[in-house]
Amino acid sequence: MSTIAGKAAAARLVDHRPFMAGVIVLLIVEATLIFLGWWMRTDSLLRGWLVAFAMVSCVPIGSMTWLLIHRLTGGEWGLAAAPVLRPAAAMTPMLILLFMPVLFGFRHIYPWADESAAISPDVARWYLNGLSFLIRGAIALVGWSVLAVTFAAGLGSRLLAGLGLAFFGLSISLVAVDWYLSLEPHYVETAFAAMIAVQQLLAALAVTALIAPPAINGKTAGDIGGLMIATLLGVVYLEFMTFVIAWYGDLPDKAEWFLKRSGAGWVSVLITALVIGALLPFAMLIVKAVRCSRLGLRVASALILFGTTLHFAWLLVPAFDDQPAVVAASCAGVAILLFVSLLTGAALAQLLEGPRAE
């Protein structure tokens, strides 16, 4: 029965023209990036694509994690948010496609892959090398995809949810270092992966509140607003404590990482992200009337997503020498991925709601 249902769902997706249009656009863009990355030195395009991937992937991964959490804890907030969380999580398998340009062009992105002297021989041999990078990324993306599709379809058990959260905690600890922190391989930060995970949770909630299905109102809106406060404080706390510990330790590698982000331009980006993307929405959400209002949640969510975008730019782009080109490429990548997400997300929402309506 499940096989028949799966085939029927796949057939409905294939027949959905916007979904197929989104997939075709994505495949064309990725084929172009892979071709250019394989045959030419298109470092800026590939680096910009990685930054765009980091920003856009937050929503599917965060949505998958919230589905696992809700399966364990229950609550009306999860039922109200399901019309957004389920199709967003169901897009997780597409991250495998999105990551292909990074995988094929990783030698043009990561210094440890292009310069033998960038890291110690032992680290290069046992951890930071092409094969290990591929294996860890594949395990994480495939595992997340299986979990996301299973729980988006409403098939996962509480035991699987618990095991899935444990798997997510382990896998994000590895790939957050591989994909993002290893852009500067001499910098080490133990809280970095946790910050990325909480940022993903925050972004997924912000998109859910921004779309705000009709069921999100009153108490459920207040619950989602409360979760947004908790995750927002988590991101700010982890980022601030990372800086305090690095400042107190006064180690050269950590100081160099922050010095790259301490120029006037990047400090302005960080302050803007903090004020508009954290302090202002926090001040809004602690007011119960705003937190329980669909309009208030939408405004706060839009500000949080803007701050999230700036935060990822501050984290990743200063690692590169060609920063203006990387910013331009990442903006184009985000625009393309958002367009594809709108097309495919609408199709997945119809597919997931169809069986429930019946």
Residue 356 lies in a domain: no
Nearest Cα to Cα of residue 308 among 101, 56, 63:
56
- 294-311 pLDDT, tens digit per residue, is 888 999 999 999 999 999
What's the confidence (pLDDT) of residue 309?
Answer: 95
Quick check: 348 and 68 in contact, CB under 8 A?
A: no
* Cα(11)–Cα(15) distance, integer angstroms: 6
CA atoms within 13 A on the CB side of 228: 41
Residue 357 lies in a domain: no
Nearest Cα to Cα of residue 108 among 203, 49, 41:
41
Tell me, letter by letter, the H, E, C secondary structure of 45-109.
HHHHHHHHHHHHCHHHHHHHHHHHHHHHHCCHHHHHHHHHHHHHHHCCCHHHHHHHHHHHCHHHC
What's the confidence (pLDDT) of residue 108?
Answer: 84
Quick check: 180 and 311 in contact, CB under 8 A?
A: no
Please, which residues have CB within 8 angstroms of residue 51's CB and are 6 or more apart in sequence? 312, 313, 316, 317, 326, 329, 330, 333
pLDDT along the chain (358 residues), means of 10: 45 55 67 62 84 94 96 91 92 90 86 72 80 93 95 91 96 94 87 94 94 83 92 94 84 84 90 95 93 90 95 94 89 84 71 53
Residue 6 lies in a domain: yes
Q: How does the average pLDDT of the chain come out, rounded?
A: 85
| Amino acid, single-letter form, for residue 5 | A
Residue 338 lies in a domain: yes
Against a cut of 0.75, is the pTM above it? yes
| Residue numbers of the domain that contains 103 | 2-348
Residue 353 lies in a domain: no
What's the confidence (pLDDT) of residue 7?
Answer: 46
Structure tokens at 200: 């993903």
* Cα(246)–Cα(250) distance, integer angstroms: 6
The C-alpha angle 196, 197, 200, rounded to 5 degrees, equals 85
231 SS3 class: helix
- 33-79 pLDDT, tens digit per residue, is 666 655 555 788 889 999 999 999 999 999 999 999 999 998 899 99
What's the confidence (pLDDT) of residue 106?
Answer: 86
Quick check: 204 and 88 in contact, CB under 8 A?
A: yes
Number of domains comprising the chain: 1
Residue 56 lies in a domain: yes
The C-alpha angle 269, 271, 272, rounded to 5 degrees, equals 65
Residue with tokens 């229950």: 74
What's the confidence (pLDDT) of residue 22?
Answer: 62
Residue 355 lies in a domain: no
Enumerate helices (H) and strands (E) in the chain, giving the number of each.
18, 0
Structure tokens at 349: 């929402």
Residue 358 lies in a domain: no
What's the confidence (pLDDT) of residue 185?
Answer: 86
